[in-house]
């Protein structure tokens, strides 16, 4: 399970903070600070894992981080998560941000903090990995964005907008797998893409 996701910049300013386990406010700040100091002094040519710290939960927990330009993305996870898997999950998250913001940079994270949270919610839900398929995540976010647009017309034409909101359909792709049956139906995806 993922315990916390922290994003801060090269100066340690938090840009996204999401804890999936409860910590008092001051402890949260302390965790952010100390995590920053831990990863800051690590060169780019050494490994991206930190283990056995006493920061969160003790020896069962590890920090897995990636450094992108001005930002550090740090995931704190317990032993049930795979290090390399999380490393790629960070990549997926960042790539998704990039898709949603078009050339994402630190400023996007600051000015659209709420949106970043919504994107994260589609990737990780309550500490569990929900979706790793970038297209799916983007589809979900776009469905929400459509909502936002229709919301703009809400005051102008309430009835129309309301029905539009009501009719919002999240895209669903039939993706079948059967346990006992080796015959997997692979749908013709071209029509959905």
Partner 1 sequence: MSDIVEKTLTALPGLFLQNQSVSGPAAAKASFSSRLGGLVRGITALTSKHEEEKLIQQELNNLKATVSAPTTTLKMMKECMVRLIYCEMLGYDASFGYIHAIKLAQQGNLLEKRVGYLAVSLFLHESHELLLLLVNTVVKDLQSTNLVEVCMALTIVSQIFPREMIPAVLPLIEDKLQHSKEIIRRKAVLALYKFYLIAPNQVQHIHIKFRKALCDRDVGVMAASLHIYLRMIKENSSAYKDLTGSFVTILKQVVGGKLPVDFNYHSVPAPWLQIQLLRILGLLGKDDQRTSELMYDVLDESLRRAELNHNVTYAILFECVHTVYSVYPKSELLEKAAKCIGRFVLSPKINLKYLGLKALTYVIQQDPTLALQHQMTIIECLDHPDPIIKREVLGEYSYLLDKETPEEVITKLYKLLRSDSISSETKAWIIAAVTKLTPQAHSSNIVERLIQEFTTSLDTCLRQHAFELKHLHENVKFMKGLLPVDKSCEDMVVDASLSFLDGFVAEELSQGAAPYKPHHQRQEEKLSQGKVLSFEPYGLSFSSSGFSGRQSPAGISLGSDISGNSTETGLKETNSLKLEGIKKLWGKEGYLPKKESKTGDETEALPVPQENIIMENVDQIITKNDQSQALTQSKEEKEKQLLASSLFVGLGSESTISLLGKADTLSHKFRRKSKVKETKSGQTTTAENVTRSSFSSSSNVTYEEDYYLDNFQDRGDKEIKKFSLNSELLDSESLTELPLIEKISNCRLSTPSLFAVNNMEVFHPPQSTAASVANEISLASSLLEETTEHMHSDLMEVCHNETISVSSYKIWKDECLLMVWSVFNKSASELKSANLEIAPAENFKITEQPGCCLPVIEAESTRNFQYSVQMEKPFTEGNLSGFINYQVMDTHSVQLEFSVNLSLLDFIRPLKISTEDFGKLWLSFANDVKQNVKMSESQAALPSTLKALQQELRLHVVDIIGNEGLLACQLLPSIPCLLHFRVHGDMLALWFRSSCSTLPDYLLYQCQKIIFHYRLLQDIEYNSLWYTLPF
Nearest residue (CB) to partner 1, 20 versus 68: 20
Using CB under 8 A, which of 59, 60, 153, 160 touches partner 1? Answer: 59
169 binds partner 1 (CB under 8 A): yes
Nearer to partner 1, 17 or 94 (CB): 17
φ and ψ of 129, to 5 deg? -70, 120
Interaction residues for partner 1, span 61-120 (CB under 8 A): 80, 82-85, 87-89, 92, 101-105, 107-108, 110-114, 117-118
Q: Spell out a b/e string for 68-99, using b for 16 or more CB atoms within 10 Å of the CB, else e.
A: beebbbbbbbbeebeeeebbebbebbbebbeb
The site for partner 1, by CB under 8 A, has a size of 95
Minimum CB–partner distance for residue 48 and partner 1 (Å): 6
Identify the residue among 153, 157, 163, 170 touching partner 1 (CB under 8 A).
170
* 3-state SS, residue 181: coil
d(CA 66, CA 90): 7
Following DSSP, what letter does each residue of 137-148 receive, concatenated?
HHHHHHHHHHHH
Taking the least distance from each CB to partner 1, the nearer of 32 and 71 is 32
State which of positions 135-164 bind partner 1 (CB under 8 A): 135-136, 140, 143-144, 147-148, 151, 154
Strands of the 71-77 sheet, one edge to the other:
14-19, 2-9, 71-77, 62-68, 49-51
What does the per-residue mask of binding to partner 1 show for 24-43, with x meaning CB under 8 A?
Answer: -xxxxxxxxxx--xx--x-x
């Amino acid at each position: 399970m993922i315990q916390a996701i922290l994003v801060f910049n090269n100066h340690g300013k938090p840009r996204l903070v999401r804890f999936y386990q409860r910590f008092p406010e001051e402890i949260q700040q302390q965790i952010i600070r100390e995590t920053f100091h831990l990863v800051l002094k690590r060169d780019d040519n050494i490994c991206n894992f930190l283990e056995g710290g006493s920061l969160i939960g003790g020896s069962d927990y590890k920090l897995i981080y990636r450094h992108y330009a001005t930002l550090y993305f740090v995931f704190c996870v317990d032993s049930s998560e795979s290090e390399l898997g999380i490393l790629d999950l960070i990549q997926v998250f960042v790539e998704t941000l990039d898709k949603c913001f078009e050339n994402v940079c630190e400023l996007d994270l600051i000015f659209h903090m709420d949106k970043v949270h919504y994107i994260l919610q589609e990737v990780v839900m309550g500490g569990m990995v929900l979706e790793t398929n970038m297209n799916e995540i983007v589809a979900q976010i776009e469905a929400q964005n459509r909502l936002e647009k229709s919301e703009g017309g809400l005051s102008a034409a309430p009835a129309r907008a309301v029905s539009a909101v009501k009719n919002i359909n999240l895209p669903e792709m039939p993706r079948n797998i059967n346990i006992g049956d080796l015959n997997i139906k692979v749908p013709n995806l071209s029509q959905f893409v």
